[in-house]
Amino acid sequence: MHRVFNDLGLAVLVVVAMAVAPSIYSNQLLLFNFVMFLSLAQGLNVIYGFTGYLPFGYVGFFGAGAYGFALAVMHLGFGPPGAMAVGAAAAVVLALILTPLFRLSGAYFAIANLAAAQAVYEVVANPALEDVTKGPYGVSLSGVFAPNASYAAAVAILAFTLLLVVWLRNSQFGLSLRAIKEDPISAAMAGVSVVRGRTIAWLLSALIAGLVGGSFAWEVSVFYPETAFSPQFSIFAVVFALFGGTATLTGPLLGVFILYGVYNWIGISVPQYFQLIYGTLIVALVLFLPNGLVSLLTRRGIRVP
Amino acid sequence: MADSLFSAAGIEAGYGRVQVLWGAGLDVGVGESVVLLGPNGAGKTTLLKVLIGLMPAWSGTLSFAGKPITGLRTDKRVRLGLSYMSELGVFPGLSIEENLHIGGQFVSKATLRVRMDELYSAFPDLAARKSALAGSLSGGQRKMCGIAKALAAGPRLLIMDEPSAGLSPLFVFQVIEILGRFRSTGLSLLIAEQNVAFLDLADRVFTLENGRIGFEGTVAALHQDDALHRAYFGLG
């Protein structure tokens, strides 16, 4: 039982820290980015860490959330909470449409997912859809701009995401997902419903990215298709989650705090060495700790939250 | 003969256009142990996959405890009391305890706790290392873990695919001894094997040859049939 409390304790600690951070540190946009990547890395953890499917086009759901939010505000006159719900729904619908991708596995799944995200981007950025999406010219939502409220929304999404991961780590459902990741055939033999488990994890993962995308649209309020569908979101989410170690709560959190911290720190202080330092760090990790930072402890048999 | 618990009749199945099973059928009575003997490539694993529902049968019928289960999903069959142990048997990246939880996923928490205590007392090697990864166990212990995982579901019929695979003769006897113990509690067994040592457990034997059932009868009858005796036991 104390395992659950360890997990919950860490989740509460992170959420409270991010909630009070703006009163200590004044760069709220940077803090928002941290909160955003904390949720995105955990959202990716839900699908990759627990089922082994690596969605390289994860940003597709993020972009769907951002554009769902924008379209609901521009065309339906929704307030931010309603628009966030529309964004989340858009991401989940996209995930439903993409469920046939599960017939692929490994690198094929990752690449097909990348292509799918690109396809959504091409549709949104199409000048012919200017009346609907504003095409490549980007959207402006200055009417709903409210950085404090959108920051609070992002922290709430982070809390939801972390609770979800705590539940997955401590529930029978999460255990059946890990069995699927280990060996789908054996899991099916043991009576685990592989398709159902995988689909639920996939939809939950998309839901998180959609919610985060909605909060991003609200926070920045002016953005272009190439911002909302930037491959950088997918890459960062994947790298942060892998750096720390997937299928844990701690891993992706550590990945974001360390790597995104380093990213901002050396990006400002010594930008000329940025690529070199960042690349070396990641290569070293892949070589020496392929299972992430937490494997320093887990391979000694220590359970990390 | 005991009441029939499980029966399969006229099973035809295969992969793509390649037919593997040609009207195979077998039955297991309540509390009975049945061994399915057959060489590599005879279709043992394919037949077992059809029985547990991982592969659809092209034709044929299946029934369990008097109910037809032909089109039923695997998880529904497990809930009814069928349990399957593959050659691999365990999830190597999950701990022993987690493996047992996967096995007993459809059982209520209270029942599972009692059952896990029973299983741990039957398998003291596992009890000593509950949180160790199943992949860190020796081959014999891994089989024990696989058996415990399959039994955690509280099955009425345990179906096993080559439990002797990858085991030294010493461990084969251990596995047989353990299965004998559970058999005396009323568990029915269906074991697909090429290792004739498992015949010690069997009430009846079926042989599978090129996708068809060849011989069906008691172990004593198998020994009396000269051709089969030579095929499975050698000239000795």
Residue-wise pLDDT for B50-79, tens only, equals 999 999 999 999 999 989 999 898 989 999
- Residue B129: other Cβ atoms inside 10 A: 16
Beta carbons of A188 and B92 less than 8 Å apart:
no
What's the pLDDT score for residue B59? 95
Distance (Å) from the alpha carbon of A164 to chain B's nearest alpha carbon? 20
What's the pLDDT score for residue B224? 85
Share of chain B above pLDDT 70, in %: 98
User: How far apart, in whole angstroms, are the C-alpha atoms of residue B127 and residue A115?
Assistant: 48
Secondary structure (H, E, C), chain B: CCCEEEEEEEEEEEECCEEEEEEEEEEEECCCEEEEECCCCCCHHHHHHHHHCCCCCCEEEEEECCEECCCCCHHHHHHHCEEEECCCCCCCCCEHHHHHHHHCCCCCHHHHHHHHHHHHHHCHHHHCCCCCEHHHCCHHHHHHHHHHHHHHCCCCEEEEECCCCCCCHHHHHHHHHHHHHHHCCCCEEEEEECCHHHHHHCCEEEEEECCEEEEEEEHHHHHHCHHHHHHHHCCC
Closest residue in B to A172 (Cα–Cα): B105
Residues 21 through 60 of chain B touching chain A, CB cutoff 8 Å = 52, 54
What's the pLDDT score for residue B235? 56
What's the pLDDT score for residue B236? 47
What's the pLDDT score for residue A145? 94
Structure confidence at residue A1 as a pLDDT band (50, 70, 90): low
Structure confidence at residue B14 as a pLDDT band (50, 70, 90): very high
- Which residues are CB-contacts of A224 (< 8 A; sequence separation ≥ 6)? A136, A137, A138
Mean pLDDT, rounded, for B141-155: 92
What residues of A are in contact with residue B142 (Cβ under 8 Å)? none
What residues of A are in contact with residue B103 (Cβ under 8 Å)? 190
What's the pLDDT score for residue A275? 81
The structure tokens listed for B53 are 């529902």
A272: pLDDT strictly greater than 90: no
Distance (Å) from the alpha carbon of A116 to chain B's nearest alpha carbon? 30
Beta carbons of B153 and A187 less than 8 Å apart:
no
The CA-CA-CA angle for residues B60, B65, B66, to 5°, reads 65
The structure tokens listed for B9 are 């009749």
Best A186, A193, A302 member to test B by mutation, with max B CBs in 10 Å, is: A186
Residues 127 through 156 of chain B touching chain A, CB cutoff 8 Å = 131, 149-150, 153
B192: pLDDT strictly greater than 60: yes
Cα separation values, A276 from A232, A238, A249, A279, B195, Å: 18, 19, 29, 5, 59
Chain-wide mean pLDDT for chain A? 93
Q: What is the number of alpha carbons within 13 Å of residue A294 lying toward its C-beta?
A: 20
What's the pLDDT score for residue B222? 85
Beta carbons of A190 and B92 less than 8 Å apart:
no
What residues of B are in contact with residue A193 (Cβ under 8 Å)? 73, 75
- Relative to beta strand A222-223, strand A139-140 is antiparallel
A55: closest CA among A231, A221, A190, A249?
Answer: A231
What residues of A are in contact with residue B153 (Cβ under 8 Å)? 190-191
B1: pLDDT strictly greater than 60: no
Beta carbons of A178 and B88 less than 8 Å apart:
no
Mean pLDDT, rounded, for A47-73: 95
Beta carbons of B101 and A175 less than 8 Å apart:
yes
Structure confidence at residue A134 as a pLDDT band (50, 70, 90): very high
Closest residue in A to B131 (Cα–Cα): A301
Q: pLDDT, tens digit, for every residue of A169-192?
A: 999 999 999 999 988 888 888 888
Beta carbons of A175 and B153 less than 8 Å apart:
no
Beta carbons of A190 and B77 less than 8 Å apart:
no
Q: pLDDT, tens digit, for every residue of A32-58?
A: 999 999 999 999 999 999 999 999 999
Q: For residue A241, count CB atoms less than 10 angstroms from its CB and return exposed for 0-12, middle for 13-18, buried for 19 or more.
A: buried
Mean pLDDT, rounded, for A123-128: 95
Mean pLDDT, rounded, for A274-286: 83
Give the residues across from B209 on adjacent strands.
B212
Structure confidence at residue B2 as a pLDDT band (50, 70, 90): low
B119: closest CA among B103, B131, B136?
Answer: B103
Structure confidence at residue A2 as a pLDDT band (50, 70, 90): confident
What residues of A are in contact with residue B79 (Cβ under 8 Å)? 191
Residues 175 through 234 of chain B touching chain A, CB cutoff 8 Å = none
What's the pLDDT score for residue A42? 97
A252: closest CA among A11, A6, A9?
Answer: A11
CB nearest to B54's CB, from A183, A189, A301: A189
What residues of A are in contact with residue B90 (Cβ under 8 Å)? 186
Distance (Å) from the alpha carbon of A89 to chain B's nearest alpha carbon? 30
Domains of chain B, start order: 1-81+157-236 (3.40.50.300), 91-154 (no CATH)
User: How far apart, in whole angstroms, are the C-alpha atoms of residue B206 and residue B218?
Assistant: 9
Which of A69-78, A126-135, A248-257, B177-186 shows the lowest per-residue confidence on average (mean pLDDT)?
B177-186
Structure confidence at residue B228 as a pLDDT band (50, 70, 90): confident
Best B51, B64, B69, B75 member to test A by mutation, with max A CBs in 10 Å, is: B75
Share of chain B above pLDDT 90, in %: 61
CB nearest to A178's CB, from B94, B103, B106: B94
Which of A79-93, A132-146, A160-174, A268-282 shows the lowest per-residue confidence on average (mean pLDDT)?
A268-282
